[in-house]
């Protein structure tokens, strides 16, 4: 999977384009310090917020994930590209690292998540 990082001149907002494979979804996470906007660029994504039902999103649709909320995402129908915008910047790098190929080691991922205020939930 690939990611594209956008410039962060003042670190108030950060963004990444994340490629989500159908076999690898994002695990359950909680952004302790940032709000997220997730926009589908290509493909389809299912987002589950809290203990709610899955919500399917297609290109052009967005989901807002407020800080402190547990959520997960998967690509049920095939490869999907997402634009993830974080405010303040930081957590988008953790989401990108969770999708990178090759993936970070578990220790490196936990370290990055801790640094950026992201809770990885098993």
Which domain does 51 fall in, by range? Answer: 3-121
Residues 84-112: tens digit of each pLDDT: 999 999 999 999 999 887 878 999 999 99
Q: Of residues 99 and 60, which shows the higher confidence score?
A: 60
d(CA 45, CA 116): 24
Which tens digits make up the pLDDT trace of 63-89? Answer: 999 999 999 999 999 999 999 999 999
Q: Residue 61's domain is classified under what CATH number?
A: 2.60.120.10
How close are the terminal C-alpha atoms of the chain, in Å? 22
Percent of the chain with pLDDT over 70: 91
Alpha helices in 28-105, H assignment, sequence order? 91-99
Number of domains in the chain: 1
- What share of the chain in percent tops pLDDT 90? 73
SS (H, E, C) the chain: CCEEECCCCCCCCEEEEEEECCCCCEEEEEECCCEEEEEEEECCEEEEECCCCCEEECCCCEEEECCCCEEEEECCCCCEEEEEEEECCCHHHHHHHHHCCCCCCHHHHHHHHHHHCEEEEC
Judge whether 12 and 88 are in contact, CB under 8 Å.
yes
Q: Hey, how many other C-beta atoms are within 10 angstroms of the C-beta on 64?
A: 11
């Amino acid at each position: 999977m690939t990611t594209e990082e956008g410039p962060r001149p003042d670190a108030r907002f950060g963004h990444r384009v994340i490629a989500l494979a159908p076999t690898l979804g994002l695990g359950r996470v909680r952004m302790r310090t940032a709000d997220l906007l997730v926009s589908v660029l290509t493909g389809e994504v299912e987002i589950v917020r809290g203990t709610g039902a899955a919500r399917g999103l297609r290109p052009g649709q967005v989901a807002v994930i407020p800080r402190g909320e547990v959520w997960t995402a998967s690509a049920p129908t095939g490869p999907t590209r997402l634009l993830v915008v974080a405010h303040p910047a930081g957590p988008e790098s953790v989401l990108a690292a969770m999708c990178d190929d090759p993936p970070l080691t578990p220790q490196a991922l936990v370290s990055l998540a801790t640094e950026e205020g992201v809770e990885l939930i098993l």
